[in-house]
Amino acid sequence: MKESLQTRDSWNSKLGFILATAGSAVGLGNLWKFPYTVGKNGGGAFLLVYMIFLLLIGYPLMLAAITLGRKTKLCAVGAYKSINKNWAFVGFLGVLCGFFILAFYSTVGGWVIYYLIEALKGNLNTTDSTLLANIFTNFISSPQKSILYQAAFLFVTYLIVVKGIKNGIEKASKIMMPTLLIMIVIIAFRSLSLPNAIEGIKFLFIPDFSKINLNVIMNALGQVFFSLSIGMGVIVTYGSYLDKKENIILASTYIPLLDTFVALVAGLATIPAVFSFNFEIAQGPSLMFITLPAVFSSMSFGYLFCIVFFILVLFAALTSSISMLEVCVSYFVDEKNTKRSTSAIYITLVIFLMGIPASLSMGILKDFKLLGSLNFFDFYDKLTSNIFLPLGGFLLAIFVGYVLTTKVALEEITINNEKFILSDIWCFLIKYIVPPLVFIILINSLKELFILITN
Ligand code: PFF
């Protein structure tokens, strides 16, 4: 544990913690995944279930994770282990999850880099859906390009983690994050002012209850975990650096609020434009890459907007990917006594190799199914969002609720005599609501995955 605590940069202020944790939470999950997942899962119905899970599961778990981290002052594996040796496997599960998420996250990170370059060249200046779809398809059909850009994304992530320049990232976050927020609000206004945008608003906010099915429920839960970075130890690790005098009730409220705000605004920037330009709402992962360039092309200074936007998306993606790589690297440093630089290079290489088939999934491996009807990209995504992260969240709730006990957790939360008016509700949720609810959905996700694999 010692080495990682010494070599890992920590933040000096609460703002540092908020920025790093918010940096991990706000990323491609909000800007890219949320809008297309809403699109594929019936719009308002999905949003409603998402919000319910956010309040009942996401928020209580965020507080539980920060509390566990700050109480033990150890990274994920150590935090569990220091309280009960038999629970170290939860930390390990998180590490495994980090490999799988980064394997497909880096694919999309690569897409962002490619789009940034295309934006600079002025090649995205059109509202023609066929042309925009062609740009995307041509790119992902090229194995060399997909892999090269994925490698570039991973390389930058690696450099940040190994060179320990997170201090610089933290400082940059203070400018980048607010700028990103302002930009997507402006883009959302533009999108909302397009003809026929109202159809998009209706789609996003008016729930059609008949659309709610098991799939929507599983995907909404997965999206809550993915978007908040909960269930793989990132938040526990980041919480371990938080000073005892900071108010963790407030900290764990800001982050879900900010994360949800960004996701909603990203939805408002994308979905109305999809209806206005008559694009396909359920097209999946390509949605952001096809729709937003069209929005930029329809606004003044669109060329500049497009460039700045992709720079900021890249930044947001990197602040998330470094949090994942950090969890994996610190595990090997702490548990296996490997040198930080050595673990970082090997882990990045393994993730790169795992990521190659994910990068090719929509191109030359389009018709290749890894398991049943799932290609690599979908498999990594489903395995992590629907199985690993909920499982990590379920175990976190059991751990904080019953092993650490909510009584001890509450003592940590209110260590400076903070008023926690929701304390009874929080304990109730952590002990009696989160575990059974997540468990039931998890069992169904496993069943579903099994069916997809065997089909
Ligand atoms: N929350 C990140 C996003 O929304 O892009 C993705 C992520 C980061 C998931 C870290 C899980 C994690 F541990």
Q: Which of 26, 314, 324 to mutate to test the pocket of ligand 1 (most atoms within 8 A of CB)?
A: 324
Residue 307 C-alpha to ligand 1 middle, in angstroms?
23
Q: Which of 226, 227, 315 to mutate to test the pocket of ligand 1 (most atoms within 8 A of CB)?
A: 226
- Structural domain count of the chain: 1
Residue range(s) defining the domain that contains residue 161: 5-454
What ligand 1 atom has the least distance to the C-alpha of 317? Answer: 5
Spatial distance between the Cα atoms of 386 and 19, rounded to a whole number of angstroms = 27
Buried b (16+ CB within 10 A) or exposed e, 302-314: bbebbbbbbbbbb
Spatial distance between the Cα atoms of 182 and 176, rounded to a whole number of angstroms = 10
Element (H, E) at 72: helix 59-72
Nearest 5°: phi and psi at 168?
Answer: -65, -40
Residue 198 C-alpha to ligand 1 middle, in angstroms?
31
Spatial distance between the Cα atoms of 71 and 60, rounded to a whole number of angstroms = 16
Q: pLDDT tens, 1-24?
A: 433 444 445 556 667 788 888 999
Residue segments in the chain with a per-residue pLDDT below the cut of 70: 1-14, 164-168
Spatial distance between the Cα atoms of 147 and 344, rounded to a whole number of angstroms = 20
E-strand stretches of 280-352: none
| Ligand 1 touching residue 29 (CB < 6 A) | yes
**Nearest Cα to 317, choosing from 9, 37, 29?**
29
Q: pLDDT tens, 199-252?
A: 999 999 999 999 999 999 999 999 999 999 999 999 998 888 888 888 999 989
At 256, list the tokens.
């879900």
Q: Is 371 helix (H, G, I), strand (E, B) or coil?
A: strand
419, with CB counted inside 10 A (0-12, 13-18, 19+), is exposed
Q: Which residues pair with 374 in a beta bridge?
A: 371
For residue 366, what is the domain's CATH number? 1.20.1740.10
Spatial distance between the Cα atoms of 377 and 385, rounded to a whole number of angstroms = 12
Write down the pLDDT at residue 2: 39
Write down the pLDDT at residue 330: 85
What ligand 1 atom has the least distance to the C-alpha of 389? Answer: 11
Write down the pLDDT at residue 441: 95
| Ligand 1 touching residue 102 (CB < 6 A) | no
Alpha-carbon separation of residue 333 from 5, 41, 77, 236, 246 (angstroms): 10, 40, 11, 17, 28
Q: Where are the alpha helices (DSSP H) in 122-213?
A: 129-141, 143-163, 166-192, 197-205
What ligand 1 atom has the least distance to the C-alpha of 28? Answer: 5
Write down the pLDDT at residue 245: 85
**C-beta of residue 419 within 8 angstroms of C-beta of residue 340:** no
At 448, list the tokens.
């579903």
**Looking at the chain, how many residues does it have?**
455
| Ligand 1 touching residue 229 (CB < 6 A) | yes
Spatial distance between the Cα atoms of 241 and 231, rounded to a whole number of angstroms = 18
